């Protein structure tokens, strides 16, 4: 019995990661990397007065003309928008729009973690949306601002 319980715990912890796909109907997510986060971490530590970098590799399931980035901090189920220096996801991110269906794409961006942000546990909702406000990519990153 103890052996079975140990195996279950090990399998659950092996699958733990700092992000979840919160609904990416127009793409398959291949990988997500956030500066300072390890793949097996349960949460990311975002240090105030620094920049956090994110990299998302995905494959769209249909042609995409253009993308907009939206980032929210979700605290107690309340989404609070994070201001972005560049919301156009097709500019200065490594993406070349239009994106072709079935072709792997790599998105990279940097988000300033301002000194004025409170020290709090927060889920960061990172979305790439079409011009029609459809989610292409939606990632929820479990984080803590320190």
Residues 46-92 have pLDDT tens digits of 999 999 999 999 999 999 999 999 999 998 899 999 888 889 999 99
The per-residue pLDDT for 3 is 32
Q: With H, G, I as helix, E, B as strand and everything else as coil, classify residue 132.
A: coil
HSE (side-chain half, CA atoms, 13 Å) at 66? 7
- In this prediction the pTM is 0.84
- Given a cut of 70, whether residue 6 has pLDDT beyond it is no
| Domains of the chain listed by start with CATH number | 21-145 (2.60.40.770)
**Mean pLDDT value across the chain:** 86
Q: Residue 128, class by beta-carbon neighbours within 10 Å (0-12 exposed, 13-18 middle, 19+ buried)? A: buried
**pLDDT tens, position by position, 21-46:** 998 999 999 999 998 787 778 889 99
Q: How confident is the model at residue 13 (pLDDT cuts 50, 70, 90)?
A: very low
The count of other CB atoms within 10 Å of the CB of residue 22 is 16
Q: With H, G, I as helix, E, B as strand and everything else as coil, classify residue 43.
A: coil
**Strand boundaries in the chain, DSSP class E:** 19-21, 27-34, 44-46, 50-60, 68-75, 78-81, 105-113, 121-129, 135-145
Range from 3-12, 91-100, 120-129 carrying the lowest mean pLDDT: 3-12
């Amino acid at each position: 019995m103890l052996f079975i319980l140990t195996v279950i715990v090990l399998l659950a912890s092996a699958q733990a990661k700092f992000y979840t796909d919160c609904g990416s109907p127009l793409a398959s997510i291949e990988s997500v990397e956030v500066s300072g986060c390890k793949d097996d971490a349960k949460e990311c530590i975002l240090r105030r007065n620094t920049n956090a970098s994110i990299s998302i590799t995905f494959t769209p399931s249909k042609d995409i003309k253009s993308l907009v980035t939206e980032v929210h901090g979700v605290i107690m189920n309340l989404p609070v928008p994070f201001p972005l220096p560049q919301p156009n996801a097709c500019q200065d991110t490594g993406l070349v729009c239009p994106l072709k269906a079935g072709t792997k794409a790599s998105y990279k961006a940097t988000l300033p973690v301002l000194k004025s942000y409170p020290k709090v546990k927060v889920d960061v909702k990172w979305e790439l949306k079409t011009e029609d406000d459809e989610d292409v990519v939606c990632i929820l990153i479990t984080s803590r601002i320190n």
